[in-house]
A and B are shown apart, each in its own frame.
Chain A
Amino acid sequence: AQSVTQLDSQVPVFEEAPVELRCNYSSSVSVYLFWYVQYPNQGLQLLLKYLSGSTLVESINGFEAEFNKSQTSFHLRKPSVHISDTAEYFCAVIPSSGGSYIPTFGRGTSLIVHP
């Protein structure tokens, strides 16, 4: 079985400041990792994912996440946030083979960007 821990339920930050949203996972098998974003009154949508290769992955809107196998982490970062980045962010994992195909989600982190 897999589990995902997002330690911060809420992260307030000022506009143009850097931010890091933390994600740690536990799994007995190799996993694929995902970050989803949920804007108010909308469904979740993919922000970025790690499948293989370079451990640093980027999204089109300036977010990046780094897969650290030894620390079982997949933290999300952005060097300078905008008001429009205010949203709920979810980390998720899926076993890369075998086991359950069901994605396991963290509890989510609410990013609040203040002007």
Chain B
Amino acid sequence: DAGVIQSPRHEVTEMGQEVTLRCKPISGHNSLFWYRQTMMRGLELLIYFNNNVPIDDSGMPEDRFSAKMPNASFSTLKIQPSEPRDSAVYFCASSPDRGQRGTEAFFGQGTRLTVV
């Protein structure tokens, strides 16, 4: 398997624009996580899906952020409108069904977002 695939790797956008980050989890993994990493706040969980259903979105900063998982092989994280404080590295991670808790989460390479 190619691992968790995220696109784009880098995104530079102007304040106010819509940004969409994409993630393809590892085939067969039922759990998907979106994280945001910044120097100030470290690694923050934004949202957790299980079997394509959002289970915990308490980490989503505000209404400007939304995430979807229309099927088992694809998820998006959208920011609309984007702001400079959204600049961060966004990671997607997937893991087998929560019944296999001893298995680690597998992370993508991340999307480095810069909002100017």
Binding site for B on A (CB under 8 A): 32, 34, 36, 41-46, 49, 51, 90, 94-97, 100-103, 105-108
Is B91 within 8 A of A94, CB to CB? no
Known: A102-B45, A105-B43. A95 touches B101 (CB 8 A): yes
Chain B at the A interface: SS class = strand
Q: Which of B68-76, B77-85, B103-111 contacts A (4 or more CB under 8 A)?
A: B103-111
Binding site for A on B (CB under 8 A): 4, 31, 33, 42-43, 45, 48, 50, 56, 91, 93, 98, 101-102, 104-105, 107-110
Q: How many A-B residue pairs have C-beta atoms within 8 angstroms? Tell me.
A: 50
Please, which residues of chain B bring their CB within 8 A of the CB of A106?
42
In the complex, what residue of chain B is closest to A94 when comparing beta carbons?
Answer: B101
Q: B104's contact among A43, A49, A101, by CB below 8 Å, is which?
A: A49
A49–B103 CA distance with the chains assembled, in angstroms: 9
Known: A43-B4, A90-B43, A108-B42. A102 touches B48 (CB 8 A): yes
